[in-house]
Chain A
């Protein structure tokens, strides 16, 4: 770890932030500087995905991955989005006033306590070695291959374990290596910590629009202290990164169902594209998210299903090039070998697989109290007739859990176990647990505002 490497990471992440902020300004605009600060985390994550997805698609198309490309793409995106924003008549943010009184105190305490915890997690990141099998067996070798050879080197990309996994995360790692000046896998942990910080900021910023601070912050903090979530922020693998995108996309989509502000769907589409370029489970999670949105908006299907259809098509189009690449290069596919759709195949595994998924979902050893609290929040929001939120999150939690059971059932090579080295179910179910944090805050916020006149007025 050198000062040069850290400065390079800082510079790269500033470019992510600038491209994402320009994107949000173009599609949404900013009211004032408080608005900018609130959405800076979402801007950062949007910038990571906009830049990373474009790098990935260019790499698949055969454009050499070099330091020039690493710097040129975010700069070009920033300038392009600024130009779009100017043509759309967006004005620059001015001024801004913070809330006063109790909400300000709650927010200040929440930020301080969260910041202290993130600082502790940074200290883990800054000198961590590369310990995890998946990381040194294929994630980082893929990144090194892109860094050293500037392309999707056929030898490495077709023979490494996880050959069919999409390359967004190795591309982001390779970009970090370029700005560090070497493949410094120790400093790389800081980059992953920054993804975690960006996610927490984005989640809090999005939820703060609709959820009072005293409801919001306990769930933000719960994300950080849950054994299998916050403490893994620095791990240089794609699981948690995928979960970040999934949860932010879910929040954007469900709030779009409530307020129909188009920018939310634009950013959600970008995040869904990031998901399908990150891991093979990303395809499944993206499809289930869209399905839950279709269910939750069935009563207004004429106005909601066409835009959701466009989102699905755009996501599929972005997913296609990588799938074409690996098929052309003879890599085995991402799904179960027999398609995983024959209900009579491996019938004896069906119930134990589903039970395994629900056991993992309900385990407080992994997710603290996130899941039981969400079940209670679903009940309360249902009682207050917050139908869209209740049906969306209820459907999505159920579908993703069933999806976990399906993975174990449809791949007979997977032992039915929570053992991390044998079955990916615990890592996969992290997506539901993280979703539960966002869902609880939104559901409880909705239930509270429906029975509290002042909260209703504030909303």
Chain B
């Protein structure tokens, strides 16, 4: 332990006090935040481990896709080398107003290596008008949220 005079001698003393003070400020900030960070880590880890497999795998898409079965059905039905198109009706009212603008991007991520294409033979339809794709269009999966997956046969 240093004597008081060591902390007060000029000009080194005030520098020492300043260094000790700033380190103390950082240390106090750590001490105050540390338990909260550990508690938050516990909460987040518990929340993640309590998720179902589907909730964890779809994650950010849960706010967009409206029906988890739709993304799994699309992945199961559309061959990996096929192309598809996500058609969202302007009138489609999903659980979230994010669906309209972002669901196609989510499918692009989730369905890779399948490629999106405007003229793809597979249609992931969110309330869209499937008759516009012609008479050869076959609905191969129908969900509860006015979501369907169809295949256009040429």
Which residues from chain A sit less than 8 Å from chain B, CB to CB? 113, 116-117, 120-121, 123-124, 126-133, 135-137, 140-141, 144-145, 148-149, 155, 160-161, 183, 185-186, 214-215, 218-219, 221-222, 224-226, 230-231, 368-369, 372-373, 376-377, 379-380, 383-384, 440, 444, 447-448, 450-452
Distance, CA A6 to CA B112, complexed state (A): 22
Contact A131 B23 (CB under 8 A): no
Which residue from chain A places its CB closest to the CB of B27 in the assembled complex?
A218
B119 interface hit (Cβ, 8 Å): no
Whether A131 contacts B44 in the complex (CB less than 8 A), given A141-B109, A144-B113, A148-B112, comes out as no
Residues 42-74 of chain B: 1 if any A CB is under 8 Å from the residue's CB, otherwise 0? 101100110100011111110000000000000
Could you list 12 examples of A-B contacts with CB < 8 Å? A129-B48, A129-B57, A141-B109, A144-B112, A218-B30, A222-B29, A222-B30, A225-B30, A369-B29, A372-B25, A377-B22, A451-B16
Contact B45 A136 (CB under 8 A): no
Report the interface size class on chain B. Answer: 35 or more
Select one of A127, A141, A148, A226 contacting B45, CB under 8 A.
A127
Whether A222 contacts B26 in the complex (CB less than 8 A), given A123-B41, A129-B59, A451-B12, comes out as yes
B82 interface hit (Cβ, 8 Å): no
Residues on A with C-beta less than 8 A from B60 are 129-133, 135-136
Distance, CA A215 to CA B30, complexed state (A): 13
B77 interface hit (Cβ, 8 Å): no
Select one of A124, A225, A377 contacting B33, CB under 8 A.
A225
B18 interface hit (Cβ, 8 Å): yes
Distance, CA A379 to CA B14, complexed state (A): 12
Which residue from chain B places its CB closest to the CB of A131 in the assembled complex?
B60
Contact A117 B38 (CB under 8 A): yes
Residues on B with C-beta less than 8 A from A185 are 57
Contact A186 B56 (CB under 8 A): yes
Residues on B with C-beta less than 8 A from A144 are 109, 112-113
B105 interface hit (Cβ, 8 Å): yes
Residues on B with C-beta less than 8 A from A380 are 15, 18-19, 22
Select one of B16, B44, B102 contacting A448, CB under 8 A.
B16
Supplied contacts A141-B109, A148-B113, A369-B25, 4 more A-B pairs, CB within 8 Å: A135-B60, A137-B105, A224-B37, A383-B15
Contact B48 A376 (CB under 8 A): no
Select one of B15, B25, B105 contacting A451, CB under 8 A.
B15
B133 interface hit (Cβ, 8 Å): no
Shortest CB-to-CB span from A381 to chain B, Å, is 9
| 3 cross-chain pairs, A with B, having the tightest CB-CB distances, nearest first | A129-B59, A120-B41, A123-B45
Scan residues 67-109 of chain B and give those whose CB is less than 8 A from a CB of chain A. Answer: 102, 105-106, 108-109
Contact A128 B19 (CB under 8 A): no
Contact B112 A218 (CB under 8 A): no
Whether A221 contacts B56 in the complex (CB less than 8 A), given A145-B112, A440-B22, comes out as no
Distance, CA A174 to CA B12, complexed state (A): 54
Which residue from chain A places its CB closest to the CB of B41 in the assembled complex?
A120
Residues on B with C-beta less than 8 A from A376 are 18, 21-22
Shortest CB-to-CB span from A419 to chain B, Å, is 16
Shortest CB-to-CB span from A212 to chain B, Å, is 10
Whether A373 contacts B59 in the complex (CB less than 8 A), given A121-B41, A140-B109, comes out as no
Residues on A with C-beta less than 8 A from B38 are 116-117, 120
Shortest CB-to-CB span from A219 to chain B, Å, is 6
Residues on A with C-beta less than 8 A from B56 are 127, 129, 186
Which residue from chain B places its CB closest to the CB of A148 in the assembled complex?
B113
Which residue from chain A places its CB closest to the CB of B49 in the assembled complex?
A127
Contact A124 B23 (CB under 8 A): no
B153 interface hit (Cβ, 8 Å): no
Distance, CA A186 to CA B42, complexed state (A): 18
Residues on A with C-beta less than 8 A from B58 are 129
Shortest CB-to-CB span from A102 to chain B, Å, is 12
Contact A137 B109 (CB under 8 A): yes
Select one of B23, B34, B112 contacting A444, CB under 8 A.
B23
Distance, CA A448 to CA B13, complexed state (A): 10
Distance, CA A186 to CA B59, complexed state (A): 10
Residues on A with C-beta less than 8 A from B22 are 373, 376-377, 380, 440, 444
Shortest CB-to-CB span from A103 to chain B, Å, is 15
Shortest CB-to-CB span from B35 to chain A, Å, is 10
Shortest CB-to-CB span from B90 to chain A, Å, is 22
Select one of A120, A127, A215, A224 contacting B23, CB under 8 A.
A215
Distance, CA A152 to CA B141, complexed state (A): 33
Residues on B with C-beta less than 8 A from A126 are 45, 48
Shortest CB-to-CB span from B98 to chain A, Å, is 9
Which residue from chain B places its CB closest to the CB of A123 in the assembled complex?
B45
Which residue from chain A places its CB closest to the CB of B53 in the assembled complex?
A186
Contact B57 A186 (CB under 8 A): yes
Contact B25 A130 (CB under 8 A): no
